[in-house]
């Protein structure tokens, strides 16, 4: 786990260094009309990210299904992390992103179309859910669970997900699900 965290930090440092070298900030990677993140030759921010100015982050809905550990690594390799929900407003935004990708349009390899992976887990200690940035989900600010709450069904649900109808859920880490990556705008603002 420490290796994954170091890789994620190094990716973020690379994005920040690139912005600094180019004399710009992450805020300047957006196009005024589409708000899609522009590709810079020196930036590890990839096409497909959209900026939500109200939430202060870039988001990318990843349509290729992966396991939770692989999804985490993909987000970190792009300079971000699996999305962490900090508010009801952010949860609503993510549900709208999911709505843009209806279950019928998802890759047939997806284990279930009802959930996406997001950035929390209880891999270290049962029932102690923490984000990929090592804060409790309560401290993160959003802990609205699906009806019935976390249940660790089958004794192997250790990774975080968001239900298509709203609410957090624990789910098997080795499922193949779509997921959302997040890059905070202020991650490295040199203005």
Would 30 be classed as within a structural domain? no
Would 5 be classed as within a structural domain? no
Would 42 be classed as within a structural domain? no
What pLDDT score does 107 carry?
96
Q: What is the mean pLDDT of residues 78-96?
A: 97
144-190 pLDDT, tens per residue? 999 988 999 999 999 999 999 999 999 999 999 999 999 999 875 54
State how many domains the chain has.
1
91-108 pLDDT, tens per residue? 999 999 999 999 999 999
Would 3 be classed as within a structural domain? no
**What is the number of alpha carbons within 13 Å of residue 140 lying toward its C-beta?**
24
What pLDDT score does 186 carry?
85
156 is in which domain, residue-wise? 51-186
37: left (phi over 0), alpha (psi -120 to 50) or beta: beta
Would 96 be classed as within a structural domain? yes
Residue 66: CATH number of its domain: 3.10.100.10
Would 89 be classed as within a structural domain? yes
What pLDDT score does 24 carry?
35
Would 44 be classed as within a structural domain? no
| Tokens 């709450």 -> residue | 149
The pLDDT mean for the chain works out to: 81
- List of E strands, the chain: 50-52, 57-66, 81-82, 115-121, 130-131, 157-163, 168-172, 177-184
**Structure tokens that stand for 180 in this block:** 């959302």
Would 178 be classed as within a structural domain? yes
């Amino acid at each position: 786990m420490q290796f994954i965290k170091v890789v994620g930090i190094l990716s973020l440092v690379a994005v920040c260094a690139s912005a600094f070298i180019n004399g710009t900030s992450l805020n300047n990677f957006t196009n005024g009309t589409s708000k899609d993140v522009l590709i810079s030759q020196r930036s590890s921010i990839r096409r497909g990210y959209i900026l939500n100015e109200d939430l202060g982050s870039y988001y990318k809905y990843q349509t290729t299904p992966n396991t939770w550990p692989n999804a985490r690594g993909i987000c970190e390799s792009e300079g971000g992390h699996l999305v962490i929900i900090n508010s009801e407003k952010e949860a609503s935004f993510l549900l709208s992103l999911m709505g843009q990708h209806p279950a019928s349009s998802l890759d047939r390899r997806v284990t279930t179309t009802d959930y996406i992976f997001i950035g929390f887990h209880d891999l270290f200690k049962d029932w102690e859910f923490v984000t990929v940035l090592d804060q409790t989900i309560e401290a993160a600010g959003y802990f609205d669970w699906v009806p019935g709450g976390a249940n660790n069904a089958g004794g192997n649900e250790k990774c975080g997900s968001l239900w298509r109808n709203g609410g957090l859920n624990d789910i098997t880490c080795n499922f193949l699900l779509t997921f959302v990556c997040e890059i905070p705008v202020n991650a490295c603002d040199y203005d």
